Structure 1
Amino acid sequence: MTRADTRKIKLIGLDLDGTLLNGKKQITDRSKEAMKKAIEKGVFIVPATGRPLNGVPREVLEFPGIKYVLTVNGARITDIKQNKILYEVLTPMETVWKIKEIFDRYDTMQEVYFDGVGYAREDLLRKITEYESRPGMAEYITATRVRVKSIEEKLREMNRPVDKVQAFFKREEEKQKAWEELKMIPHLEVTTAGKRNIEVSREGVNKGAGLLKLGEMLGIKRDEIMACGDEINDLVMLREIGFAVAMGNSPDIVKAAADYITETNEEDGVAKAIERFVLK
């Protein structure tokens, strides 16, 4: 018997890439049907992603019954039906400059997110495959980022706290060096969702904290929250919520944090978990 067998799940947090979305960045028909039935039972389905709001697929945002979206790894919770920000924890500009100083030492394609929009240098986006080798992810980034000539100029133009800072590294060994340097800066949350990227937010920002905050707003207890994820930036989420599901395509460290391991994102893993623990 698993922990989910002894409780009523009222909220499900779903990571997108590698979890709800398959390799073609689509939701399978079986997952759609499982989500639909869960929503009909009164369960909140909440996309929980590292993406900015403008990077969340339309089929997710327009899925019937989805009302809340947790983006940029938990830095923001949005009521998409009322177009209202319910919660946000942003990174101060003075900290952003320290992060950028480290990223600038290496061969990186950097991004900054403001108000649910991701910005990246147009010249580097044309060479995206040098920094992101996964075809589906490279295509998503190219299609959703706003192109700018200079990240530094964009930061000076906006001159206010950011949603998140991200960098894609050409070399994995340089990512590891930058990771160690970033860990020396206080009050940061440093995570990753791939072999060559680093995502940086303000301390305390993670999907788990975001789901717990939304649960608090909705009167839902920790034990009534289930989440599915596949990557390192899902680790804290899986450890903090009531019932944790890791995808079959997850690395071992993520699987070790889970209460249950479902099938991969290519094998309807999310649908099978919802069917077993919510629709039974």
Structure 2
Amino acid sequence: MQQIKMIGLDLDGTLLNTKKELTENTRRILREAIDAGILVLMATGRPYTGIPAELRNFPGIHYALTSNGARVLDTDHNKLLIEQLLPMESAKKALRIFEKYDTLSEIYFDGQGYADAAKLDNVGKYHHDPNMWNYVRTTRIAVPDIQDVITKENRSMDKVQALFADMEERAAAWRELSELKELELVGSLSYNIEINAAGVNKGTALVALGEMLGISRESIMACGDGDNDVHLLREVGFGVAMANAQPQVKEAADYITVSNDEDGVARAIEKFALHR
């Protein structure tokens, strides 16, 4: 295996434990990897504002891959390096389908999420993980109607997402949406659908960032657990799935580490990047 020069890390179910915390041990290993000259960054479906402040400000982390690869940032210089946006008309088509069902729909512009205020007040109906409720409430801008935001912005966006109260409705929406070839669908959670422009995913975006920085895909490692990490683990030189990962993610991986509640990321970095 080639020397690891870059590591892309998913957040939920991967780097963060079930309580959405970064453990002290994981913090220490990230510092050691950075001190060893390895470029570490978040590779998340979250918008930039959704990355925990501790990780946004982590010493030595200079880049962020957000919204499943729609936006890749040089965070030191607040510079947008890669932008792969969802056309407004495609987003409207997706949202019209979401509106047929009982969903909490969200839109993302410039790394900021917007959601319907009334649905946000009832987030527990749609977000089936109580550990996510505070995160969603504190990182989304509550608006009376997301369609008004789209009309006002009148431009392409990072991505759209819907959280479903009912799994049969999610399955029906997925079937309908998958007929629209201009959309890239993933479900990082069992109860959501995230939509990017076709061809946009974490994997190709991370490899593209590597190329910009002179790092070959063979020298890139990534860790993930959800459906939006399948391309991530396939595209990089060395893909690591968490023990708690979805089956298709494990199939895409070169190695399966322990779970996110057992510091699986730290263990994988120690073993394969720090060689101990």
Task: Tell me, yes or no, whether TM beats 0.5.
Answer: yes
Inter-partner Cα distance in structure 1 for 2:141 and 2:167 = 25
Residue 24 of structure 1 aligns to a residue whose secondary structure is: coil
Provide the residue aligned with 1:98 in structure 2. Answer: 93
Cα deviation, residue 32, structure 1? 1.0
Match of 2:219 among 224, 227, 236: 224
Cα deviation, residue 150, structure 1? 0.2
Inter-partner Cα distance in structure 1 for 2:21 and 2:70 = 24
- 2:161 equivalent to 1:166: yes
Q: Which amino acid aligns with 2:51?
A: V
Cα deviation, residue 142, structure 1? 1.1
Provide the residue aligned with 2:50 in structure 1. Answer: 55
Inter-partner Cα distance in structure 1 for 2:232 and 2:239 = 8
Q: Identity percentage over the alignment?
A: 51
Cα deviation, residue 195, structure 1? 1.5
Residue 105 of structure 1 aligns to a residue whose secondary structure is: coil
Unaligned runs of 5+ in 2: none
- 2:243 equivalent to 1:257: no
Provide the residue aligned with 1:248 in structure 2. Answer: 243
1:116-127 → structure 2 map (5 Å cutoff): 116-127=111-122
- Moved runs in structure 1, 4+ residues, more than 2 A? none
1:196-235 → structure 2 map (5 Å cutoff): 196-235=191-230
Residue by residue, what CA displacement relative to the aligned partner does 1:36-60 show, whole Å, maximum 9, x if unpaired?
Answer: 1111111100100000011110010
Residue 221 of structure 2 aligns to a residue whose secondary structure is: strand
Cα deviation, residue 84, structure 1? 0.7
- 2:174 equivalent to 1:182: no
Residue 165 of structure 1 aligns to a residue whose secondary structure is: strand
Inter-partner Cα distance in structure 1 for 2:182 and 2:93 = 12
Residue 260 of structure 2 aligns to a residue whose secondary structure is: coil
Inter-partner Cα distance in structure 2 for 1:81 and 1:193 = 28
Provide the residue aligned with 1:64 in structure 2. Answer: 59
Residue by residue, what CA displacement relative to the aligned partner does 1:232-261 show, whole Å, maximum 9, x if unpaired?
Answer: 110111111110000011122211111110
Residue 256 of structure 1 aligns to a residue whose secondary structure is: helix
Inter-partner Cα distance in structure 2 for 1:254 and 1:76 = 22
Provide the residue aligned with 2:16 in structure 1. Answer: 21
Unaligned runs of 5+ in 1: 1-5
- 2:269 equivalent to 1:269: no
Cα deviation, residue 188, structure 1? 1.2
What TM-score comes out, normalization by structure 1 length? 0.97
- 2:186 equivalent to 1:191: yes
Residue 11 of structure 2 aligns to a residue whose secondary structure is: coil
Cα deviation, residue 136, structure 1? 1.2
Cα deviation, residue 215, structure 1? 0.3
- 2:156 equivalent to 1:152: no
Inter-partner Cα distance in structure 2 for 1:207 and 1:279 = 24
Q: Which amino acid aligns with 1:107?
A: D
Residue by residue, what CA displacement relative to the aligned partner does 1:190-219 show, whole Å, maximum 9, x if unpaired?
Answer: 001111100000011110011001000001
Q: Which amino acid aligns with 1:121?
A: D
Inter-partner Cα distance in structure 2 for 1:131 and 1:61 = 27
Q: Which amino acid aligns with 1:266?
A: D
Cα deviation, residue 74, structure 1? 0.5
Aligned residue pairs, count: 275
Provide the residue aligned with 1:44 in structure 2. Answer: 39
Provide the residue aligned with 1:3 in structure 2. Answer: none
